[in-house]
Amino acid sequence: MQKLFYYTLVLFSCICFSQNKQLLYGFTEIPQSLLSNPGAKVNNKGYFGIPLLSHIHANVGSSGVSAFDLFADNGVNFNVKLRNVVDNLRSIDFFTATQQLEVFSGGIQLGPAYNKNQYLSFGFYQETDFISYFPKDFAILALEGNQPNIGRPFEFDQVSFDAELLSVLHVGYNKRVNEKFTYGIRGKIYSSVANINSTRNEGRFITTPSDVNTLQQVFDLDLEVRTSGIAGFIDDDDEDDGDSDTEGFGDVGSRFLFGGNLGLGVDLGFTYQKNDQWYFDASILDFGFITYTKDVENYEIEGNFVFEGIDPFFIGETNPQTANEVWTAISEDFEALFDPDTTQTKYTKLRPVKLNTSLNYAFGKKVLKECNCVAEEGDYLNRVGGQLYAIARPRGPQLALSAYYYRRIAKGLSAKATYTIDPFSSTNVGLGVSAQLGGFNMYLLTDNLLAYRNIYDAQSVSLQLGFNYIFRNEN
């Protein structure tokens, strides 16, 4: 049990991701910024993403522990470091994972020749999303056992996790109503390949003194794990459907292409230009749901049980039990409690809704000369602002606050720097660069630069990159 706990904690520390894209948000030179705000300003006639390379996103982190905390070569015993990590983590600390790979994308400007104020964008991407909260009570139970914790309840509501593998087909519409207001909407069709979640657990386990034996263990359980698209991969002994495994693996491609669990969602966004220099924007993303009907298998445990331990038996007793009979009775009691009920009930789950909003100020207008080599007429070279990000999660929203500085360095070359305070770090400095050579656009965005001095001590490190071909507006 203790080794299993070690490995689980290390695994979580190594594969955790976050969804905030503060560097991409508002970076309108990059077409994929429309994915974070469908109502952002658009400054190109059209584009197409290089297939499988237009947007690659991955970042790693955890809200309360880094690999360095466990594996630093500092002469401290590993068990001591593990104990310190468990003591410092809270039950609201979490490990998350999100990865995105854009398969294809594109966009085109619409409207009459004298006023092309509309924009249609579309694409298809694959996404992985995972979150697990740290079950502190059971980490302590694994480390110490129940003997030092007589009378302490271990709460099962701390066991909360959700994992999803899905694809998303989307179409977005953006319209510049006038010089002050632009809005956008994006419709999405979700196709879930696989899901496992357990976020509605209740109950407790407690050890108390007993009148029969020294101690008794009291279980009060209401636990549930829901799965879809997973049973076909792991059920090797399903005699009712001997081809279940083959179907499970062979079905993956079709599930990505909307043969899986389907759902609908919408993104909404707008930009309001208060005056020449100040503007405000906001977006709400993934307001939608997925209904799970494919390969559904759910597991439920509900009930109360008191285990008094093994009663001593004596030869002189009437009808004494043998040791084998005692053990059989105990194992049957435990099996009755911990053997879950299995159902195939379909279920529907909301997507994790995300909110972005920012206030921005532009300055440093370029004075037009004979050779306008840096900026177009009416453009500003610099921009600063603040952004708030929030995402709905099973145990409450997760928030991040960013300040940024944007600079147009040269024609076709711009950069954005951010400083972010989030659950992972209060010193998260990021930098992003977008470059355009002719119509070819490339961008690289990376987060938490200060952590690169000791990458193992970082609680989050992020990377986004992509390649597009953009048809620029004539200036």
- pLDDT given for residue 196 in this prediction: 94
- pLDDT given for residue 378 in this prediction: 52
Question: Residue 82 maps to which CATH number?
Answer: 2.40.160.40
Number of structural domains the chain divides into = 1
What's the CA gap between 280 and 278, in Å, rounded? Answer: 7
* Contact indicator for 438, 411 with CB cutoff of 8 Å: no
Q: What tokens does 377 get?
A: 């007429």
If you ran DSSP here, which 8-state letter would residue 257 be given?
I
First-to-last C-alpha distance (Å) of the chain: 67
| Exposure letters 187-222 (e unless 16+ CB within 10 A, then b) | bbbbbbbbbbbbbebebebbbeeeeeeeebeebbbe
What's the CA gap between 437 and 441, in Å, rounded? Answer: 6
Q: What tokens does 112 get?
A: 């009459």
Q: What tokens does 249 get?
A: 């693996």
- pLDDT given for residue 157 in this prediction: 92
DSSP string, 124-161: EEEEEEEEEE--HHHHHHHHH-SGGGTT--EEGGG--E
Non-local (6+) Cβ contacts of 294 within 8 A are 228, 229, 255, 260, 261
- pLDDT given for residue 3 in this prediction: 43
- pLDDT given for residue 243 in this prediction: 45
Non-local (6+) Cβ contacts of 313 within 8 A are 320, 321, 322, 323, 326
Q: What tokens does 58 get?
A: 């991955």
Predicted model pTM: 0.83
Residue numbers in the chain where pLDDT is lower than 50: 1-18, 236-248, 314-316, 369-377, 475
If you ran DSSP here, which 8-state letter would residue 455 be given?
G
- pLDDT given for residue 33 in this prediction: 95
CA distances from 37 to 24, 51, 268, 413, 447 (A): 10, 22, 7, 22, 20
**What domain range includes position 267?**
2-472
- 3-class secondary-structure state, position 252: helix
If you ran DSSP here, which 8-state letter would residue 65 be given?
-
Angle of helix 136-144 relative to helix 2-14, nearest 10 degrees, comes to 140
- pLDDT given for residue 215 in this prediction: 77
* Contact indicator for 234, 264 with CB cutoff of 8 Å: no
What's the CA gap between 28 and 41, in Å, rounded? Answer: 7
